[in-house]
Each structure stands twice: as C-alpha cells, then as structure tokens.
Amino acid sequence: QAQLVESGGGLVQAGGSLRLSCAASGLSISRRVMAWFRQATGKEREFVAGVRSDGLGEYTDSVKDRFTIIRDNARNTVILQMDSLKPEDTAIYYCAADEGHYIIETSPSEYDFWGRGTQVTVSS
C-alpha cells in the first residue's frame, strides 16, 4: 500500500529554519513529480514547491529564495528546506506524489497520493 509520511514540522520563531521530510513507501518516487502543499486555517490548500524527476524545482512566488525542494531517490524521500520563515508560512504542510514525471502541476486535484501532513507554526 502506497504511503507518504511527513515529518520535521514544529514551532519556530520568525527568521528561523525547518527541514521537512517526506518518506515514501509502497511506491517509487524516482519517476514521479513530487510536491509540497500547505493549508492554513480557513484557507484552501495551496502549492508550495514541486520537483520533477530530473530534479528541477519550481516554487510559488511567496517562498522563492527561501525554500528549497530536494529529492533523494536513493532514500525514496523528498525534503523541503525552509529558511527565513515568516508567520504567514504557518500551515499544515502536505507531501504529494503525481504519476507524471515532468510537468509540475499546482492544482491539488492532479496528485494521486498524499501524506497526512505536518504542522508548521512560525511565531512573530
């Protein structure tokens, strides 16, 4: 059974860093687009970052130059390194896997597998 498990969330002060990890089991990430989404209280789930099978990443404008998405195919894991965190980054962060390997979709409906999420809270 395919499963994605996120870890690494927590409480951090503004300007700090967190490193989220998404461990996949029951499916190989090597030929899939992988992505991170987030959902703040009362808001819709939004795209944060995605990475193609060749390692090329894309980011939503609000996190460019602060977040980095990294895929580790050998460990079947995707990392989201988050630096210079802001209070508006507070949300539940979800890992997602797409069947495609090249186009990074930004709509949640395009993704086939999801983790349960990890809470990130940034205090001011």
Alpha carbon 16 to its chain centroid, in Å, reads 18
pLDDT in tens, 16-51: 999 999 999 999 999 999 999 999 999 999 999 999
CA dihedral 51, 57, 58, 62 (to 10 degrees): 110
pLDDT at 100: 84
Q: Tell me the DSSP string of 23-39.
A: EEESS--TTS-EEEEEE
Q: How far apart, in whole angstroms, are the C-alpha atoms of residue 34 and residue 32?
A: 6
Strand 91-97 versus strand 113-114 pairing type: antiparallel
pLDDT at 99: 87
pLDDT at 91: 98
pLDDT at 102: 86
Among the listed residues 19, 11, 35, 24, the one whose alpha carbon sits nearest the alpha carbon of residue 110: 35
Confidence of residue 13 (pLDDT cuts 50, 70, 90): very high
Among the listed residues 2, 12, 1, the one whose alpha carbon sits nearest the alpha carbon of residue 118: 12
55: which 2 tokens? 């390692």
pLDDT in tens, 53-105: 999 999 999 999 999 999 999 999 999 999 999 999 999 999 999 988 889 99
